[in-house]
Amino acid sequence: MKRSLALITLSFAAATAFATTYVRVEKDGTKTYSDRPLPGGAPVEIQPVQTYAAPQASSTPAGPSREQQLLNDMGNPFHYESCAVTPAADQTFTNPESVSLGVQLSPPLRPGDVLVLSLDGTPVGGRDATTFLVKPVARGSHTVAAEVKDRYGRSACRSSSTFHVFQPGLNSPARQAPPRPRGR
């Protein structure tokens, strides 16, 4: 039985290559194949063979592979030309309502680099924020810092400065007394 099935399959494959093939299902469920029309049979539709065409070769010269580019980046760390924070070092604010912190980078922040702006060691403004408004501002000296790290975690820029906030106290001689109400 297996031998006859193999012969049928082989003849079916050969027949499909050259001509239309017909099939008829018998009462007992067996199938009869032929290259000629059979009474009670139907032609077998055979889909064309799937083919594949190779892509055309590019005429442009290929650059380094992605892996080679990553190795080159790791061997040649990038550094920003300038990285400055504001307020400037030793700048003094007297009784401010708010103080604006910021960082200026040259060139601008690259994709993949991460900027962290911090005040007194605490990150402020969220990831990659270049400015942050501190309101209210506590009296005393404060340090603003900015650091940019590349995709490998290496520092590409770091800058910091200390500024001072002066707010007169209630008993300060410079503080003016509030006006007295009239008529009492």
What are the tokens at 87? 């307020």
Same structural domain, 131 and 90: yes
Instruction: Please check whether residue 58 lies inside any domain of the structure.
Output: no
Domain assignment present for residue 104? The answer is: yes
pLDDT digits (tens, 9 = 90+) for 9-24: 555 555 445 578 889 9
2, 40, 43, 71 from 31: Cα distances, Å: 14, 12, 13, 63
Q: Are residues 25 and 80 in the same domain?
A: no
In tens, the pLDDT along 173-184 reads 655 666 777 765
Q: What is the pLDDT of residues 88-146, one digit of tens each?
A: 999 999 989 999 999 999 898 888 889 999 999 999 988 788 889 999 888 899 999 99
Amino acid in the structure at residue 69 = Q
The CATH number of the domain holding residue 91 is 2.60.40.10
Residues 64-94 as b or e (16 or more Cβ within 10 Å = b): eeeeeeeeeeeeeeeebeebebbbeeeeebe
What is the tally of structural domains in the chain?
Answer: 2
Q: Is residue 105 part of a domain?
A: yes
Q: How far apart are the first and last CA of the chain?
A: 123
| pLDDT for the residue 158 | 92
Shared domain check, 80 and 40: no
pLDDT value of position 15 = 47
What is the Cα–Cα distance from 150 to 99, expressed in whole angstroms? 29
Give the range of the structural domain holding residue 157, as residue numbers without chain letter: 76-166
10, part of any domain: yes
The predicted-structure confidence for 55-80, as pLDDT tens digits, reads as follows: 877 666 567 777 777 666 666 777 88
Kindly report the number of other CB atoms within 10 A of residue 174's CB atom.
9
Same domain, 80 and 162: yes
**What is the pLDDT averaged over residues 144-153?**
88
